[in-house]
Every structure is written in structure tokens, then in C-alpha cells.
Structure 1
Amino acid sequence: MTDEEDLRRRIGQLLVFGFDGLTVPEYVADLIRTHYLGNIILFSRNVSTKEQLSALTDHLQSLAQESGQEMPLTISADQENGIVRRLPEDIPVFPGNMALGATHSPEDVYRSGVLTGRLLANLGINFDLAPVLDVNNNPANPVIGVRSLGDVAETVAELGVRFMQGLQSQGIIACGKHFPGHGDTNVDSHLDLPSIAHDRLRLESVELVPFKAAIQAGIDSIMTAHVVFPAVEPEKIPATLSYRVLTSLLRYELGFAGVLTTDCLEMNAISATVGIGAGAVQALRAGADMVMVSHHLDRQLAAIDAIVSAVRQGDLAEARIEEAYQRVQALKAKRLGATAREEWAPLLQAAKAVQVDLSQHAVTALRLTPAAQPTKDSLEKIAVLVDETTPLMAAAGGGGHHPLIKDALATVFPGLEVQEFLFPSVFDCQSEEQLSALLAQYDAVLAGINGTRNTRYLEFVKELAARPIRQATLLLRSPYDALHVKDAPNLYALYEDTPWMAEAAIRSLFGEGAQGRLPVHISEDFPRGYRV
């Protein structure tokens, strides 16, 4: 083997690439064969059914074996659960972080980690880009929000470690993200470059606390944040590219010895500033062990060429490549041993039971008014009211309208007559009067709120709350939306617009009781830990 080929083999083990499609494209097979690509990331675009996904991961591993790679590929996914999930629709998924935070139960979080690990292992995914360890202490955060376990650093630390331990107990590589913290930004790094201007003392007491705990508990890997931290890095350099953050702080001060991966370099915080190739080189030079380019082949090839060129020209030390390579290989040797896959039927049954259990533990009642409470015995037909404009965060993906509450009612109470009304983005007074008259014909009204920017819809829901009808308002994602409808007679926080949380809310509304408590502080009316 030539020195050039040996260098390319080592560089290939430091790359994390993604692709489009449900099968392996020929160019990806070529990347594995000729560039010794050692790590793959999968997204929802790569997933259809559990059978398809298992076949895909098996094919990827067979290509790596045929290429002569000594270790299996890491095959990763952002299976945070909740709104950020990559598992097929035919597999039960668990509540996400803020819903888990609402359980206030480390044991529930551990159960979620264990079952998530078992499901991933059965699909051939061996690397979970979770848990999120960001402390969401900014209600306006557009990228973390309900992906966080809460707004108290010590709670995020305790629960994040339990999820990590659950994953790693099943042989899955866990990855804490986004170091050194993405929870107090009002800019989405998918779109721009955020900056957190707190001093070092504040970072030590909040942002770094969960990462310190995870490192002490033996987390396998950590993902960098494309965020500027002037208190650590005085230059306007995102943490992903900063030696002061990745090496001086994370390696030397915090003592992290595991694998350090970047977030995707195609996010605008990197691609629209320094660019993909330069970003890959700078990240490795700063101390990253893996660089992630999730989407486009031209950008992936640009990263490879830039790294090879930087080593040849002496701009990136070969010793740094070797150090990163050895870390990646050691992690693969530790976690990627052969494991027997489970029978699907009992595994899915166990996962569904945990999904239902955790969802019921999470849903939170913020206001209850018995006189206005819908009751199962008094209902024959029920109206569901939702806003047609629903903004989504970039990390969650998806889009479009889904009849979430209507479907949940049909699942929990089959046979009940349910009519959904969409409140349009442009609405006049006459239309509102007509809608009010229509709603009056139903035994109860359930209104859903999901981060809407439609102020007229919020006003309509508030006006509805003042009427003497049976009704409930469901906060389908952000609990901070309670500020818009704090006088709703019956108000529930779901923390995510997922079928399992909607079904838990319906069961709670009609008698099973909501067990969750707020994991974040909203206001004096709704303090952290609150429930009716």
C-alpha cells in the first residue's frame, strides 16, 4: 500500500456522508470502495419500512467489508425521538426530550434510551446522534426548543446521562450535542451563524454542566455546535472550527477522550461563511475527529480534496489525522461488535407499551375547569380547530398539515363524530362569524396551537375560551405558547405534535389524568414543575 493510499484510507474513516434514496446509490458505493468512506448518516429520506432500512444498512456494511475496511461502518441517525426522528413509521417512537423532561423521571428517560437502542440495533443503526444536552433557557430558540430536556442545567445533565446510558447499554454509540451549548440562541444555525455572548462564569454554571456530567459518565462521542462563544473564542469563529473550544476547553479542561464529530458542515453557519472544504480542514485542525457532510456529492468530494490537499501542503498535520483515525477505530472496536437481531414482534410490543406509558407520564394539565371540561358521556360530535399555518424548525423536517387531533380522537374513541376546521391565514369578520356558528353546533371544541404566527387565530381561540361551551386547548409543541392562551378553561401541554402525545392528551382530557409537570419556567402562572 502506498503512503498516498494509506492516507486516503485514514481520511475516509474521518468522514460522515449522507445521500438521497432508499437504496445505496452507485456513487456512495464508489465512495466506500475508493475513498474508504467509514461513516454514513441516514435521514428520513432514506427510510421507508423496517425491512427496507435493515436491507439498506446490511448492504452498506457489505460494501465496507468488500472494500477491505478493517472495521464496520458507523451508521448514524438523529433519533432524538419526538419531533426529530428517523425510524420507520411502522416502529413505535418515544416522546422527545422536553416531554421526557416533563416526566421528571430518570427511570423513564433510561427506559426510553434502552428501547431506542434496541430498535436502532435491530435496524443496523449503531450510532445515535443523541442526546441533546443543550439547556433551553431561551423561549425564542428556533432550533432547540422542545428538543431540550429543560431549562435547568442540572436536570438536563441528570436526564441526558440516563438516556446516554440506556443507549450505550445496548451497544449503541451515544453522542451528546451541541457542544458547548446551543440552548440560548435566537438564531437557527441551519440558516445563519448564532453567537452566545455570556461570560465564562455563566458558561461554566449552565451550558457546560450537562457536557461535564456526560463526560464523567463515559459518553462515547460529542457533536460540536456551529455557534460563536466569544468568552472562549475571541475571534468570530464557530465552536466547530475553534481550537480553543474543541481542544483547549473540551479535551484539556473537561478531559473528553472520546470521538468528537462536527454537526453537518452544509449548514449555513459553515457553508455560507468559510465553505465546506475549508470548514472540514479547520474542524480537523481544531480537534474534531469526524467531519459531517450530509447531503451533496460535490460538497463531499470538496471536503475530501481539501483535507488531502491540506495534508500534502503541510497545512494540516498528518499526526492530527492519525490521532483522529485512532480514536475512531478505537470507538468502532468498542461498540461495533456483531450482535444478534431480535424478533420484531415482541420488540415492537415492548416499544409500544413504553411509548404509551411515557406519553401518559409526560402530558401536562396547565388549567382545568370542570364545568367546561368535555366528558365522554356527553359527546356525540366534537369539533377540532387548528391553524393552517404551522412553522417548523429546520431540524425536524416534514411540513404540511396533519389532522393530528382528529386522528387521535378517532384512535382513542372510534365511532365519535369528529369534524376538523382549519383556520386560514387570511380571515375576515364574516368568515369568523360563520365559523363561530358552526362550532356552536358541536358538543365540544378542541383547539390546537402549534407555534402559530397567526395572531388572529390566537385571538379567536381566546374569544372562544370566554364562551360557555365545553372546550379544551392543546399546546401541540411549545409549552411557551401557554402565554397566548393562559385563560383557556382547559389547557394541556403536549411538547410535540406527535400521534402518541396527542392520544395521551385525549386520554388525559377524558378521564385518565395528566401526570406531567412543566420542565421549563413559563411565567408566574406557569412556573417550572407546575401542573394542576
Structure 2
Amino acid sequence: MHHRAPAPSRRTLLTVTAAAAAAAVTGVTSPVAHAETNDRGLRRIIDRMSLEEKVGQLFVTRVHGHSATDPDQADVDANLAAFGVRTAAELVARYHVGGIIYFSWAHNTRDPQQIAALSNGIQQAALAQPTPVPVLISTDQEHGIVCRVGEPATLLPGAMALGAGGSHADARRAAQIAGEELAALGIRQNYAPVADVNVNPANPVIGVRSFGSDPRAVAGLVAAQVQGYQRAGVAATSKHFPGHGDTAVDSHYGLPTITHTREQWAELDAPPFRAAIAAGIDSIMTAHLVVPALDPSEDPATLSHPILTGILREQLGYDGVVVTDALGMEGVRTKYGDERVPVLALKAGVDQLLDPPRLDVAWNAVLKAVRDGELTEARLDVSVLRILRLKAKLGLFRRAYTSRAAVERIVGRKAHLAEADRIAEATTTLLLNEGGFLPLSPASHGSVLVVGADPASPSGTTGPPTTTLATALRELGFTATALSTGTAPTAARIDETVAAAAGQDVVLVGTYNVTATSSQRTLVARLVATGVPVVTVAIRNPYDVARLDGQRAVLAAYSWTDVELRAAVRVLAGRARPRGRLPVPVQSAEDPTKVLYPVGYGLTYGH
């Protein structure tokens, strides 16, 4: 039986690390001195933890509901089904979890004040435990197509858009704005920036979430974003190690294999992670994929000791927090059962176990592995210390709570929104402008029909792309009508759209990942045949331009969030000049060896 020393008071624990955390911020003591002081205090906390509390610190889990103590009944039912508890507070009490991840679909992110109150409720529950340790609250706020917190928070251009802008200063500033707003909401770990180098246009899961295809360019932007987030007091997380950029399989639904040689990995995949480590990255997320050149066992990287310990820890010298990608993804579940995955991940070198499909199964599996001797308690202590170091660095032991005033002062402030618009304008990329057709003017192109794909909003709060584009055009003096045709327009919808194009000055089409068999190609061809000038805006991957013909102009926006679409409209109307440059090559659809638009390509025009 594990014997636990008497638990200290909450005040004692807060005092233990307060001086060291303050020193880390102010730089009063030397790095070595404050690290030693900090570790001594943190080890005293670990010594007072029960085995169950140590196991809990390793887990980061989802929870349903907008409130830590009073969620809606549907969320109570969801928590009972998933965890056997009713609320986030009960979840913390039962499993002593070290982290909580927020999702919009779990109803965690309705509005800023609600998010802050949820964060404070979770911290209150954590600090009421026998060994009070604050929770590290996290989310996926990459911006662009992956956002969990929507308006009125500031939404910023995503990674590939920033890659098109090419400015380290803008990337850093975007991350700092995002970090300041997350911190005000009580979210202190962000699973961004993506450090994958997107060298495969068919990549179904990364794509515009990557800064681009050039490892050195990606490395510079990753480092800039790490600096921005961490200046704002939020732990950045580069992902997905050892690199998810060259795969045609989505690890949410299968187990990808990366065929790069070790030399290719070092040249293509490693540079952004090296740059993140050099920038002082707080955490690195693993990938659920196989890299035979790095581990012949063909275990997923998340479960690979040669990859996580041999390469990440020993070769690259990283001693920060390693967090798994979500353990409910199929990529990590194809080879081993859910009860083995968390144990094998810890043996590989992981610290945080993210969102297992069954928390009780995973938690008890780790507990059993220690009691059976497969894992030692000393091994757990190593990871718990890394996690507590991060919490101390973030100041959570000094101040776990946020405030309504902080939310009102910081989240969605006018200066942040203006910066987002400025940064977005520098990312919009003009790929085609036949005969200098752009910019448009209300005098000569006053009537615009806006059609195209309306994918679900990444944040759940922004408008459909066709509506956003039409509204932005109307605000600039155009007469604009929105007609959604979807990502797979039917023959009847295409006929309706062609009829609606009659008498228009321009048709603006928002395209979304056009494939060889996509009916979006038919839509554009039919519209071109009407004789009305057609302009397309690729609202996700810029590769669409290779599969479409006859347009007068083509823009790449890299996302369908409002900030990027409004910027694209300002470029269309000549209110801003296009300055973005392709961060990935666009190859011929018929002959992939032929590059139609190289990295760095982008047209421009004067105001």
C-alpha cells in the first residue's frame, strides 16, 4: 500500500513555488538558481502526492459543459456516460487530472465570460484537493481552419496564410495576441503552432494548418510563434513530432506511414522542431504515425521509445513536456488496446496523456502498471515534475484564476482586431489576373453574384463564406448577392446558379479543395461559359487553381474565417494590394512533376 505524508495546506503549496515563479519572470536570480529552488519546492509537492494523484497529473481530458459545477442536463448525461461523474469539478475530484482540454462541441466555449468562469471553477475544484495543484487548461486554437474559441475573441490568419505573408514579426504578433486572449480566459496551454512541413498536396489532415513546404521557412515562423505565445504567458505546443507533413492518411481515422529516410527526415521534418526547441518551446505533441527509418518496430511515434526518447530527448536535447496527440484517434489504437496505449506512451517518454477514449480504463491501466512493477513510481515522478515545472513557469501556483475584468480588457479588443485585419491583408495571394481584370470597382463591376462552398465554420461563430464575402462587398459599395452551392453542387443547383448569373457584372466563386471529380469544376466551367467574368477565391488549399480554367482572376485566402475573407475582398476591390506569396508549390493536376506556380509566386498591383 502506498503511504502518503500529511498534505500541506493550500497556502503552503502556493508559497513554496511563488518565489521561484516570480524569479523566473523577473529574472532576479540566475536560471540555474531559480530552477533549483523551483525544483526543490515542486519535489516537496510530489512527495506529498498519493500514487493516484501522480497518475492523475499525467492526464489531460475533455469534459462536457459550460460550467464546472452546473452544466446543462445533456452535458451531465454525457459526463456520466464518459466518466461516471456529473461535472468538471467531480471529474477533477475523482481522477485528480492535471489538465483539461476545451472543445466547442463539448460546450466549453460559448462566450468569453463563460469560458473564464469555467476555468475558475475547474481551478477551484483542483485547489480543493488533498494535494492542491492547479490544472493546466488547454485547447486547439491554431487559428485559420482550427479554432475552438470564436468571436468575439480575435480570430487571426492561420499558419499557411502567415506562411504566405512571410513575416516573422506578424507571426509573432499574431501568436502574442492569441496568447493574451487565451490567458485571459484561463487557457494556458495552446496546441499550436503546427511544425509539420506540408510537402504532400494530398495531405488530408495538415494542409493549410502548416506554414508551408520549405523547412527553413516553416522553422522561422514556428520559432516566431513560440516566442509570441510564450511572451503572453501561454505554453506553446509544436506538433506533430516527428512530422506529419508527408502523408495521404489522416491519423484520426488510420495509421499513416512516413517513408522518409533518416536523412530526409533530418532535412525536411526536423528543422521546425529544432527551431521550436531552440526558441524554448514549453511542450511538443507527438504524432500517431509510423516512421520505419526512425523505428523499425513500426510502432506509432507516440509509443516509440527510439523516437521520443532516442531522438527527441537525447538527440535533440529536449527536456520539456511531451504530450500525446488525442488517444482516441485511430492512428494510435490500431496496434494496441486502449489499456496498453497510455502505459506504452509513458514508457516511450511521454509526460501528458491527452484525451483517452475511456479515462477510467487509461487511468487504471497506468495505476496497475505501477503496482505491477511495469512502470516505477520514480518514472511517474519524472513526468509529474516536468508538468509541475510548466505550471510554475506559467505562474499558476501564484495565480490560478482569471477575472471578468481581464476578459473585458483583453479579449476581442479593438487594437487586436485591427492587427488581425492588417496581418490578414499581407497574406492574400493573387495567382491569376488576366488582362489586369482586378481590382474591381463598384462603378464598373457593381453587381456581383457570390457563390460557392459554405463549409462549417471552424469556430462555430463566423458566417458562411458566401455571406461573409457578399456582406464585405456590400460594405464597399457593391451590389452583392450570396448563393450557397456547397462543396459538391448538384446539377440542379448548378443550373440555378447559371440562371442567377445572367445580368451580373462578375461572379465570385469560393472554391474548397477541388478534386479531379469535383462538381465544383462543372460549376466554374458552366459559369465561365455564360460570358460573365468569373473570379475564384480558394478558401482552403491553394491547389484549386490547378484544376480550374477560364477564370479572369484567382485569389488564395487559405481559410474561410471572416478575417481572411474580408481581407480578400479588400484586395479584390483594390482597398489593399495583394502581397502574399505562395508558401507551397502548385503542381499541374495532370502532371505532378510540372510546377505551375512555384513557392514565392504571387502577383500584385498598385492601389
- Give, in angstroms, the shift of residue 306 of structure 1: 0.4
Contact (CA 8 Å) 2:154, 2:178: kept in 1 or not?
no
- Give, in angstroms, the shift of residue 269 of structure 1: 1.2
Segment drifting more, 451-460 vs 190-199: 451-460
Q: Does residue 245 in structure 1 map to residue 307 in structure 2?
A: yes
Q: Which residue among 65, 72, 75 is the counterpart of 1:21?
A: 65
- Give, in angstroms, the shift of residue 10 of structure 1: 0.8
Decide whether aligned partners of structure 1 residues 405 and 513 sit closer, same or farther in structure 2, where only a CA change above 3 A counts.
Answer: farther
Q: Which residue among 579, 584, 603 is the counterpart of 1:515?
A: 579
- Give, in angstroms, the shift of residue 408 of structure 1: 2.9
Contact (CA 8 Å) 1:465, 1:489: kept in 2 or not?
no
Q: Does residue 48 in structure 1 map to residue 110 in structure 2?
A: yes
Q: Tell me the residue number matched to 1:381.
A: 447
CA distance in 2, matches of 1:336, 1:493: 41
Q: Which residue among 199, 205, 219 is the counterpart of 1:157?
A: 219
Q: Tell me the residue number matched to 1:286.
A: 348
Segment drifting more, 515-524 vs 334-343: 334-343
AA paired with 1:48?
R
Cα offsets for 1:213-248 (capped at 9, x unmatched):
111221111010001010011012000001011101
CA distance in 1, matches of 2:417, 2:272: 29
- Give, in angstroms, the shift of residue 152 of structure 1: 0.7
Q: Tell me the residue number matched to 2:12.
A: none
Q: Does residue 354 in structure 1 map to residue 415 in structure 2?
A: no
Q: Does residue 30 in structure 1 map to residue 96 in structure 2?
A: no
Contact (CA 8 Å) 2:453, 2:465: kept in 1 or not?
no
- Give, in angstroms, the shift of residue 409 of structure 1: 2.8
CA distance in 1, matches of 2:548, 2:169: 33
Contact (CA 8 Å) 1:72, 1:336: kept in 2 or not?
no
Decide whether aligned partners of structure 1 residues 380 and 172 sit closer, same or farther in structure 2, where only a CA change above 3 A counts.
Answer: same
Q: Which residue among 334, 340, 345 is the counterpart of 2:393?
A: 334
TM-score (norm. length: structure 1)? 0.93
Decide whether aligned partners of structure 1 residues 432 and 30 sit closer, same or farther in structure 2, where only a CA change above 3 A counts.
Answer: closer
Contact (CA 8 Å) 1:36, 1:69: kept in 2 or not?
no
Segment drifting more, 451-460 vs 284-293: 451-460
Q: Does residue 60 in structure 1 map to residue 122 in structure 2?
A: yes
Cα offsets for 1:66-86 (capped at 9, x unmatched):
114443110001111111111
Matches within 5 A, 1:496-515: 496-511=559-574, 512-515=576-579
Segment drifting more, 224-233 vs 511-520: 511-520
- Give, in angstroms, the shift of residue 422 of structure 1: 3.7
Decide whether aligned partners of structure 1 residues 67 and 498 sit closer, same or farther in structure 2, where only a CA change above 3 A counts.
Answer: same
CA distance in 2, matches of 1:60, 1:400: 25
CA distance in 1, matches of 2:95, 2:453: 49
Contact (CA 8 Å) 2:242, 2:270: kept in 1 or not?
yes
- Give, in angstroms, the shift of residue 468 of structure 1: 4.0
AA paired with 1:411?
A
Q: Tell me the residue number matched to 1:489.
A: 552
Contact (CA 8 Å) 2:147, 2:459: kept in 1 or not?
no
Decide whether aligned partners of structure 1 residues 211 and 387 sit closer, same or farther in structure 2, where only a CA change above 3 A counts.
Answer: closer
Decide whether aligned partners of structure 1 residues 462 and 372 sit closer, same or farther in structure 2, where only a CA change above 3 A counts.
Answer: farther
CA distance in 2, matches of 1:111, 1:78: 18
CA distance in 2, matches of 1:304, 1:133: 30
Decide whether aligned partners of structure 1 residues 121 and 285 sit closer, same or farther in structure 2, where only a CA change above 3 A counts.
Answer: same
Q: Secondary structure at the match of 2:100?
A: strand
CA distance in 1, matches of 2:501, 2:495: 10
Q: Tell me the residue number matched to 1:473.
A: 536
Segment drifting more, 417-426 vs 111-120: 417-426
Q: Tell me the residue number matched to 1:411.
A: 472
Matches within 5 A, 1:115-264: 115-264=177-326
Cα offsets for 1:238-263 (capped at 9, x unmatched):
00001011101111111001011111
Q: Secondary structure at the match of 1:263?
A: coil
CA distance in 1, matches of 2:286, 2:467: 39
CA distance in 2, matches of 1:403, 1:33: 41
Gap regions ≥5 residues in structure 2: 5-48, 69-75, 77-85, 588-594
Q: Tell me the residue number matched to 2:34.
A: none
Contact (CA 8 Å) 1:78, 1:84: kept in 2 or not?
yes
CA distance in 2, matches of 1:128, 1:527: 32
Segment drifting more, 229-238 vs 437-446: 437-446
Decide whether aligned partners of structure 1 residues 285 and 128 sit closer, same or farther in structure 2, where only a CA change above 3 A counts.
Answer: same
- Give, in angstroms, the shift of residue 407 of structure 1: 2.2
Decide whether aligned partners of structure 1 residues 278 and 96 sit closer, same or farther in structure 2, where only a CA change above 3 A counts.
Answer: same
Aligned residues: 523
Q: Secondary structure at the match of 1:447?
A: strand
Matches within 5 A, 1:263-274: 263-274=325-336
Q: Secondary structure at the match of 1:114?
A: helix
Segment drifting more, 27-36 vs 263-272: 27-36
Q: Percent identity?
A: 36
CA distance in 1, matches of 2:478, 2:495: 26
Q: Tell me the residue number matched to 2:592.
A: none
Decide whether aligned partners of structure 1 residues 427 and 80 sit closer, same or farther in structure 2, where only a CA change above 3 A counts.
Answer: closer
Q: Which residue among 361, 381, 394 is the counterpart of 1:302?
A: 361
Contact (CA 8 Å) 1:136, 1:184: kept in 2 or not?
yes
AA paired with 1:530?
Y
Segment drifting more, 257-266 vs 17-26: 17-26
AA paired with 2:136?
T
Segment drifting more, 434-443 vs 202-211: 434-443
CA distance in 2, matches of 1:399, 1:50: 14
Q: Tell me the residue number matched to 1:8.
A: 52
Decide whether aligned partners of structure 1 residues 149 and 69 sit closer, same or farther in structure 2, where only a CA change above 3 A counts.
Answer: farther
AA paired with 1:11?
V
Matches within 5 A, 1:383-402: 383-387=449-453
AA paired with 1:165?
Q
Decide whether aligned partners of structure 1 residues 387 and 95 sit closer, same or farther in structure 2, where only a CA change above 3 A counts.
Answer: closer
Decide whether aligned partners of structure 1 residues 426 and 458 sit closer, same or farther in structure 2, where only a CA change above 3 A counts.
Answer: closer
Q: Tell me the residue number matched to 1:526.
A: 597
Cα offsets for 1:94-126 (capped at 9, x unmatched):
111000101010000010111111101111101
Q: Secondary structure at the match of 1:76?
A: strand
Q: Tell me the residue number matched to 2:11.
A: none
AA paired with 2:466?
I
Contact (CA 8 Å) 1:382, 1:443: kept in 2 or not?
yes
Decide whether aligned partners of structure 1 residues 370 and 413 sit closer, same or farther in structure 2, where only a CA change above 3 A counts.
Answer: farther
Q: Secondary structure at the match of 2:382?
A: helix
CA distance in 1, matches of 2:461, 2:563: 19
CA distance in 2, matches of 1:323, 1:163: 28
Decide whether aligned partners of structure 1 residues 169 and 40 sit closer, same or farther in structure 2, where only a CA change above 3 A counts.
Answer: same
AA paired with 1:375?
S
Segment drifting more, 60-69 vs 407-416: 407-416
- Give, in angstroms, the shift of residue 35 of structure 1: 2.4
- Give, in angstroms, the shift of residue 201 of structure 1: 0.4
Cα offsets for 1:475-528 (capped at 9, x unmatched):
010011111125521100000111111111111001122111111111333110
Decide whether aligned partners of structure 1 residues 280 and 431 sit closer, same or farther in structure 2, where only a CA change above 3 A counts.
Answer: closer
Gap regions ≥5 residues in structure 1: none
CA distance in 2, matches of 1:211, 1:204: 10
